[in-house]
Amino acid sequence: MEENSSHESALENADKLIQSVLDQMLTTNDDQLVIQGLEILHKLLANVLKTPHEEKFRMIKKTNAVLQKKLMNLKGIEYLILALGYVDVTLIPQQLIQIDDEHYVFIGDYLNILQAGSHRIDDTLSKIKVKYMSAEERKKHEIIEQQKIEYREQLKKKQDYIKLMQKQSEEDRMRKSEQKSKTSVANQMNFGANIVKFQPPCKPSGGG
45 and 122, same domain (yes or no): yes
What is the per-residue pLDDT for 108?
A: 80
Judged by phi (left if over 0) then psi (alpha if -120 to 50, else beta), residue 201 lies in beta
Q: Hey, what's the torsion of the CAs at 143, 145, 151, 157, to 10 degrees?
A: -120
Residues 46 and 15 in one domain: yes
| Segments forming the whole domain that contains residue 156 | 134-168
Domain count, the chain: 2
Q: How does pLDDT run across 39-92, given as a tens digit for each residue?
A: 999 999 999 999 999 999 999 999 999 999 999 999 999 999 999 999 998 877
Q: Is 192 left (phi over 0), alpha (psi -120 to 50) or beta?
A: left
pLDDT, averaged across the chain: 84
Same domain, 46 and 94: yes
Domain endpoint, select from 132, 157, 189: 132
* 117 and 27 within one domain: yes
Contact status, residue 43 vs residue 118, Cβ threshold 8 Å: no
pLDDT at 101: 72
- CATH of residue 69's domain is 1.20.58.2190
**Same domain? 121 vs 145:** no
Is there a domain that residue 41 lies in?
A: yes
- Asked whether residue 59 is domain-assigned, the answer is yes
Residue 122 sits in the same domain as residue 31: yes
Percentages helix, strand, coil for the chain (3-state, rounded to 5) are 70, 5, 25
Map residue 35 onto helix, strand or coil: helix
Q: Is residue 53 one of the residues assigned to a domain?
A: yes
Q: Are residues 64 and 160 in the same domain?
A: no
Q: Is 201 helix (H, G, I), strand (E, B) or coil?
A: coil
| Distance from C-alpha of 49 to C-alpha of 115, rounded to nearest angstrom | 7
Q: What is the pLDDT of residues 148-160, one digit of tens each?
A: 888 878 877 887 7
Residues 6+ apart with CB under 8 A from 107: 58, 87
101 and 160 fall within a common domain: no
The beta strands (E) that lie in the chain are given as 59-61, 86-88, 103-106
| 150 in a structural domain | yes
Together in a domain, 107 and 36? yes
pTM recorded for the entire structure:
0.68
Amino acid present at 120 = R
**pLDDT over 90 at 31, yes or no:** yes
Tell me, yes or no, whether 161 and 127 share the same domain: no
| Residue 73 DSSP code | T
